[in-house]
Every structure is written in C-alpha cells, then in structure tokens.
Homo-oligomer: A and B are copies of this chain.
Amino acid sequence: MIKVLVIGAGAVGAFYGSLLSQAGAEVSVVCRSDYDQVKQHDFIINSQALGRWNFTPAQVLKNVTDFKGTPDYILLCTKIIPTLDRVALIRPVVGRNTSIVFIQNGVEIEQEMLNAFPNNELVSGLAFICCNRTGPGEILHLAYGRLALGNLPNGVSLKTAQLCELFNQSGIDCGAIDNIVTGRWQKCVWNAPFNPLSVLSGGLLTLDILQTQEFFVRSIMQEICDIASAVGHPLPDDIVDTNIENTYAMPPYKTSMLLDYEADQPMETEAILGNALRAARRVSIVAPHLKSVYALMKLRELKLEQH
C-alpha cells in the first residue's frame, strides 16, 4: 500500500490528502493546530463539486518525528514563510526512496530543496483550487481543484505519474507537466498582482480590482513575464490577456493572501513577491510596479507586527 505523509494539513493539505486516501493510499497527516479535533473526529470535507466525506488519516501526528514508518511520498503543503524552515521540518522523515512533493505557492522555491535533498526525487506541485478551513478539521472546497505536478529540475518520473493517476482516480484533474518551474512562473502571473492588491486595498475582491485598475494589474503581470523570460522560463505571448479574461469570467474571489490577512496569519509575501524580485535583480530586470507593491506589503507587515 502506498504510504503518504501530508505535512501541513491546512485546507489544501487535508483536501488533497483525503483524495489520495479515497483512491486507496495510506495517508497520515501532521496537523498542529487542529490535532485534538482531527484525532477524535477526523477531517470533514465539504466539496461543492464532489460531495461531503470524512477523512480518517492512518496516523494523526502533532510532530513530524512522531511518524511511524517511511513514507513513499511526502506531501508538503505548508505556507512558505520566513519563520518556517521547510528543510528542517521534513528532514526527519525523508527516507532513501521518499519522493518529496511540495504543493506550495511562490516562485524560486526549488533550489533550497534541491540543495537539501540531492538524492531524493523532488516533485513540485501547483494547486489551482479555492478551498478554506472553516473550522477545526473542517475544510470547505469551493471551486476548481486542478493539480499540476512535475519533477525537478524537469521531466516526469514514473512515481510522479503514479501519483497523478491516484489523484485522477479520486475525481480531481491532475496533470504531469515537463517543465513545472515554468508552470510556477505562469501561476505567479496571477498571484503577483491579485494577492497583494487584495490585501493593500483593505479587502477588495478580484473583480473590483480588475474593473478599476486593469492597467495596473497588467503592468505587474507583464513584469512577472519579463522576469520569467530572463531567468529562462519564457511564458506564452498571450498569457497576460488570458489571465485578464479568465479573471473577468471568474466569480469575484478572495485571494489566499487576503484570507491569511483577515485571519491574522502570516502572508506569503516573500515566496511570491520577494522571490520574484530577487530573481529580477539577479538578471538585472527593472520591475518598478512589482517593487512598489512589495515595498507596501513590507510596510503593511511592519505595521501588523507593531500591534
């Protein structure tokens, strides 16, 4: 039986973990804040598309080091924030044949893992999903759910294809893609404007932002394209247009950063904006709109720390 250990069982981790469990894998979870609830009453997943189900993990753990056995796959689904050391967090349970799958936001988050685990299979994952934690152990899956997985530095291994297959069996669209790093930049085209703008505006929905400041949104998107291209990941010519059109077609939406902001949780400012700008500096790309948004997010965070 395939052994999966989900680390960071918030909305995303619990949701995808529960799907693998439904598809027949033995899925354990490390969940800190909701440990007591989940240990006693399982996860409850409410999906508007797939129905409602309970998810009973094989092992419910407070700490990674409590895990018994060696996982075939680690599903790392924490947020990427400066105070959390991803490498130190997972190292105790990484076995020789463990595939490390990280389903996380941000760009340029690969090298740290490649350096730390040079002999393991590393899989980078992107989740296109709208889901929230609505209470202890309670996950609401609102819309979407597609996953993209790919090996680092590129390609798709047999084991990654197998994982995709498991996800597809469970009812979610999961695609394996050859160049997942490019895919990460592609996702950033949307995240870089909408996440911080939703926070800095004080809580606007995506459609309000787009309808009043489309030009500004496009400027930020274009800068991400310029950076991606300069670091060797050119994106499709029409990607900005496509993102704008798709966002007009989406229901008005609260971004993940806004949800974190409203829940008084740390935001992925560095993983999304800081990393993109550090890449820009490396290749001498000027990105003044992105820089402005990043500077303002850092000021906002400073103010939050003062409270």
Contacts and interface: CB of A to CB of B under 8 A. Distances in A.
Contacts of A292: 216, 219, 288-289, 292-293, 296
Contact of A296 (B219, B296, B303, B306): B296
B298 A204 contact: no
A159 interface: no
Interface string A269-304: 000000000000000000011011101101110111
A299 B201 contact: yes
Is chain A's interface secondary structure helix, strand, loop, or mixed overall?
A: helix
A57 to B, nearest CB: 39
A289 B219 CA distance: 12
A213 B299 contact: yes
Interface residues of A, number: 26
Contact of A300 (B200, B302, B306): B200
B201 A300 contact: yes
A210 to B, nearest CB: 11
Contact of A302 (B204, B216, B295, B306): B204
Contact of A303 (B203, B288, B306): B203
A208 interface: yes
A197 interface: yes
B212 A303 contact: no
A293 to B, nearest CB: 6
A209 interface: yes
A302 B219 contact: no
**Most chain B beta-carbon contacts within 10 A, residue among A197, A213, A299, A303:** A299
A213 B288 CA distance: 14
A9 B53 CA distance: 64
A298 to B, nearest CB: 6
